[in-house]
Amino acid sequence: MNNMRETLAQLETAEFDGAAAMIADRKRNIYLVGGRITRALAEYFFTHLQVIRSGVTQIASNSSSWPHYVLDMKKGDVLIMFDIRRYEQEMETLSRIARERGVEIILFTDQWSSPIAKSARRVFRIQIEAPSAWDSSVVILFAVEALIEAVQSSIWDETRDRMKTLEGLFDSTRLFRKPL
């Protein structure tokens, strides 16, 4: 609860709204990447954004393939990065080469702040300390969920159509059971 209180107390509405607007802007392609632990958060965010809008790519965890993704990035695109303490050197390298191409970075980091924060357009500094051997991702997930809702609401007409089409595809593949 302390992590949540401290994070929300320092979260600026303009920063949040600015990030949501960048992600909702269909003129921009969106790329997501996470580190060793935060990869799961990037994948979760990607799965939702992929339904909400087109032009969303999850970058593979293998850093040797990252130049292939950067090849398609253009000025104004958005790279959403998750980088918490033990900041991964490869993440900093990716942010540098993406910025050189004019890509805007949205960073999810911790209270100590990844080196990427110096050059990110939007930064979410989130409290992650927990009384265990592991940091907590609960508040990061909360922020991701809030952004999912904000983006989805801002482009609801497109999202509604995409969701309807996706549900039809799910029905045709019989991937999920229908409730009785």
The domain segmentation of the chain, as residue ranges, is 2-173
Scan for tokens 């990716």, then name that residue: 94
Per-residue pLDDT of the chain (180 residues; tens, 9 = 90+): 999 999 999 999 999 999 999 999 999 999 999 999 999 999 999 999 999 999 999 999 889 999 999 999 999 999 999 999 889 999 999 999 999 999 999 999 999 999 999 999 999 999 999 888 888 999 999 999 999 999 999 999 999 999 999 988 988 887 777 776
- CA–CA distances in Å: residue 69 to residues 61, 63, 64, 111: 12, 10, 10, 29
Residue 56: partners with Cβ closer than 8 Å, 6 or more residues away: 29, 30, 31, 32, 46, 49, 50
Indicate the DSSP class of residue 142.
Answer: H
Predicted confidence at residue 176, as pLDDT, reads 77
Predicted confidence at residue 172, as pLDDT, reads 87
Residues 34 and 91: their CA atoms lie apart, in Å, by 8
pTM: 0.93
Residues 42 and 63: their CA atoms lie apart, in Å, by 15
Predicted confidence at residue 109, as pLDDT, reads 97
Contact between residue 104 and residue 1 where contact means Cβ atoms under 8 Å apart? no
Residues 116 and 109: their CA atoms lie apart, in Å, by 9
- Taking alpha carbons only, the member of 101, 118, 100 closest to residue 109 is 118
Three-state DSSP class for residue 34? strand
**pLDDT one-digit tens code per residue, 85-135:** 889 999 999 999 999 999 999 999 999 999 999 999 999 999 999 888 888
Which CATH number applies to 2-173: 3.10.580.10, 3.90.1150.10, 3.40.50.1950, 3.40.50.10490? Answer: 3.40.50.10490
Predicted confidence at residue 170, as pLDDT, reads 87
- Taking alpha carbons only, the member of 29, 31, 15, 49 closest to residue 91 is 31
Cα torsion 79, 72, 40, 162: sign: positive
Residues 91 and 82: their CA atoms lie apart, in Å, by 9
